[in-house]
A = this chain, B = another copy of it.
Amino acid sequence: MNSYTTKSLLAGEIAAGSPVQIKGWVRTRRDSKAGISFISVNDGSSFDSLQAVVPSSLENYETEVLKLGAGCSVIIEGELVESQGQGQRFEIQASRVEVVGWVDDPETYPIAKKHHSFEYLRTVAHLRPRTNAFGAITRVRTTLANAVHNFFYQKGFQWINTPLITASDCEGAGELFRVSTLDMANLPRNEQGAIDYTEDFFGRESFLTVSGQLNVEAYCLAMSNVYTFGPTFRAENSNTSRHLAEFWMIEPEIAFATLDDCADLAEEMLKHLFKTVLDERAEDMAFFAQRIDKEAISRLEHVANSAFERMDYSEAISILEKCGKSFEYPVKWGLDLQSEHERFLAEEYVGRPVVLMNYPKEIKAFYMRLNDDQRTVAAMDVLAPGIGEIIGGSQREERLDVLDRRMAEVGLGQELGWYRDLRRYGTVPHGGFGLGFERLINYVTGMENIRDAIPFPRTPKSAPF
């Protein structure tokens, strides 16, 4: 007998009347007085579970079927029939129920039928994919990741794996995790008594990367259109809903490109991603709209169908100063914008996504291209309604003399000789941006906590798996 996913059966891909087999995990069991049990089975392929109607005539009905509960694994065979009741279009009239795995002590099964808080589920992260919410999040992640890769592949971008263990702190973006194979109990010392990192694995102090951008520029200046999609790490000791110790980042980098080209690419990419997830994950998105955030679908549709506004940072400051609204954080030229400012601009003032451009150089990284005014750099943030900044990027400083001055200003020395080389040999205007994948998942699903946007949440003092 052929085995099918619940997705294909629920979608009507198999004709009613066919003999079918499904394999999955019981979500619920309900028994009717007429001696029939209704068992809903989920195999992860679809949001909805498939219902099996199990008659009491099965030989293991009393001994096994009536003992099934949430989490048990089963193989069910029978005839696919059109459902008489409400809900799904199809169900299985079961002729055989095989219990593959029981739940050891159902009373203490951490993921029982009842509703659990997301906070509780983080403590049983190895079991939370068995819930509706995390099944949906996982499918949305997969669809978005695949859409990212295909978006760039269709456009001829090369996927570059940049080093994860690195000697450079790309932008002083946060606390670093040290990576070492030195014997902590017996650290080698040099003649001055300092720890001798020449004895370490790479022969020098090494850390987990905070961004692949500097590295990917080397490939950009050879192959024009490239991107990274890989993990990055921040050892920020903050147990908030916005920080992850490890998270994934998408960082495209394009050659012969200005800041406007970067903004165009960001807009095109976001629209493509949102259209794809609305199209391919309609069931899961309906769940998020119903249970998590009623704007989940309309927000994506709005962004996908809006022209992104472009605005200079200086103009934004002027707007914020004159808008008459009172903000918690100060607004002044030279200060970075806070989420409340960004959301006002995108949600209230413009009512569409906004690409803010040309920030004061003092609040941006050394590699961003200095504008002719000598006080701003060609940086951009994409502000989206409902979240604020979702993408940050810039045109890079491609002029060696200007880069050298900027590096000297921020105290960077010769360790970036290879990065300088890129400007010595056939430099071109280029730029790119970064999009945090988990932040994207939060935005798409309406889930507020970033620890619910990654399969295994990691925070300070939380013992890793």
A residues contacting B by CB (< 8 A) are: 3, 5, 7, 23-26, 43-45, 71-73, 75, 100-105, 109-111, 125-127, 129-130, 135, 138-139, 141-142, 145-146, 149-150, 153, 156-168, 175-182, 184-185, 187, 194-195, 201-204, 206, 208, 214-215, 218-219, 221-225, 230-231, 233, 235, 237, 245-246, 248, 255-256, 398, 400, 418-419, 421-429, 454-456, 458, 460-465
Contacts and interface: CB of A to CB of B under 8 A. Distances in A.
Give the number of copies in the complex: 2
A5 to B, nearest CB: 6
Given A127-B421, A215-B456, A418-B126, A464 B146 contact: no
A148 B7 CA distance: 22
Could you say which of A100, A101, A195, A418 has the most chain B C-beta atoms within 10 Å of its C-beta? A101
Contacts of A25: 222, 426
Contact of A7 (B23, B43, B156): B156
A441 B368 CA distance: 34
A44 B464 contact: no
A125 B418 CA distance: 9
15 contacts: A24-B224, A25-B222, A25-B426, A45-B225, A71-B426, A101-B426, A103-B424, A103-B425, A126-B422, A142-B158, A146-B153, A176-B181, A177-B179, A201-B237, A202-B462
A367 to B, nearest CB: 14
Contact of A208 (B110, B179, B214, B428): B179
Contacts of A161: 141, 231, 248, 454-456
Nearest to A399: B101
Contacts of A101: 398, 423, 425-428
Given A101-B428, A146-B153, A215 B465 contact: yes
Contacts of A203: 460-463
Nearest to A227: B142
Given A159-B145, A461-B203, A44 B223 contact: yes
Nearest to A437: B161
Contacts of A204: 463-464
Contacts of A100: 256, 426-429
A200 to B, nearest CB: 9
A127 B455 contact: no
A22 to B, nearest CB: 10
A246 B206 CA distance: 13
A428 B103 CA distance: 11
Contacts of A126: 215, 218, 418-419, 421-422
A131 to B, nearest CB: 9
Contacts of A421: 110, 126-127
Given A163-B465, A428-B101, A463-B204, A455 B219 contact: yes
Nearest to A185: B195
Given A73-B221, A185-B195, 13 more contacts: A43-B255, A44-B224, A73-B256, A73-B427, A109-B425, A125-B218, A135-B223, A138-B219, A146-B159, A149-B150, A161-B231, A165-B458, A231-B231
Contact of A222 (B129, B222, B418): B129
B153 A455 contact: no
Contacts of A150: 146, 149-150
Given A44-B222, A71-B425, A179-B179, A464 B102 contact: no
B460 A202 contact: yes
